[in-house]
Amino acid sequence: MNNSIIFLLLSLVACSSVVYGVQYLHMEPYANSDCKGEIYGAGYALQIDLCFGINYQGGAFVNNFKVSLDDSGQNATVSQFKDTDTSCSTPNTNFDKVYNVGECYEAPGYGNSDDYEPTNFVLISIQNNPHSIPTYGYRSTTYGDSQCMSNPQFYIFYTNNTEFNIHSDDYSKWYCVDNQAYETFCEQGEGTESCFTNPSSSECTRNFLQWHEDNYIQESC
């Protein structure tokens, strides 16, 4: 095999979303409280045994998180740490959350602003060496490299047409069309509705809100 073919194969691998040698705490979203039926809402994937940052309150603040898996492989604990604790050495145990594989929970708010509070439920699983990132709809993915080609540290996704109620009457809808992510925001008036749509996809960009973590973020479908 000549050098040009080897280079081409390596380039194809680097440009794919394939990930190897990692485990993820995966939260698949459902509309119903028994996590059956329609897949809908906000879902998450958090890499296990890695310290990483997640923005909250619209990105104004950051906490670090680390997911640990017990020996049975059936119980995962999500621990929270201060923004400056980039090695996740001293957890705030008051915020520890345990998730059991195969059980259904109210969706957490990881990565969501206060205005985008999920109302769906999530089914817990552990993904071992996933072959690819599944496509649900809009996705915001955090990476530890400037090319966004390493194993994702964390990603949040919204299934197509996920809606968030904002200020009681207004709402935001997220969806993908032709591999482009969009958000449509609608304001309610007296007998009227005013909506506008913005593209939500973005290239791999330094997340300057995470000063201590040196992370990059990419928004896509």
Six token digits for residue 57: 């309150």
Domain presence at residue 7? no
Asked whether the beta carbons of 152 and 32 are under 8 A apart, the reply is no
pLDDT at residue 172, rounded to an integer:
93
pLDDT band of residue 61 (cuts 50, 70, 90) is confident
Residue 70 counted as domain residue: yes
Which residues make beta-bridge pairs with 73?
none
Q: Is residue 37 part of a domain?
A: yes
Residue whose token pair is 């090319």: 147
pLDDT value, residue 113: 64
- Over residues 95-110, the pLDDT tens digits come to 899 999 999 999 998 8
Q: Running DSSP on this structure, what letter comes out for residue 35?
A: S
- Specify if 185 maps to a domain: no
* Distance, CA of 191 to chain centre: 36
Q: What is the C-alpha separation between 111 and 117, in angstroms, rounded?
A: 10
- Tally of CB atoms within 10 A around 72: 8
Percent of the chain at pLDDT > 90 equals 64
Q: What is the DSSP letter of 61?
A: E
Position 179 in a domain: no
pTM of the model: 0.85
Residues 181 and 147: their CA atoms lie apart, in Å, by: 20
Q: Domain span at residue 96?
A: 19-159+201-220
For 158-189, how does the pLDDT look when each residue is reduced to its tens digit (9 = 90+)? 999 999 988 778 999 999 999 999 999 999 87
What pLDDT does 78 receive?
97
Residue 202: is its pLDDT beyond 90?
Answer: yes
**For residue 133, is it within any domain?**
yes
pLDDT digits (tens, 9 = 90+) for 123-160: 999 998 776 777 889 999 999 999 999 999 999 999 99
Residue in 118, 160, 141, 121 with CA at minimum distance from that of residue 46? 141
Q: What confidence tens digit (pLDDT) does each residue in 14-32 have?
A: 444 445 579 999 999 999 9
- The tally of domains found in the chain comes to 1
Mean pLDDT of 71-81: 95
Instruction: Look at residue 191 and tell me if it is in a domain.
Output: no
pLDDT for residue 114 is more than 70: no
- Cβ neighbourhood burial of 105 (10 Å; 0-12, 13-18, 19+): middle
In this structure, are strands 154-159 and 162-166 parallel, antiparallel, or unpaired? unpaired
Q: Cα 14 to chain center, whole Å?
A: 21
CB proximity list for 92: less than 8 A, separation 6 or greater: 79, 80, 81, 82
Domain membership of residue 10 (yes or no) is no
User: Quick one: pLDDT at residue 130?
Assistant: 76
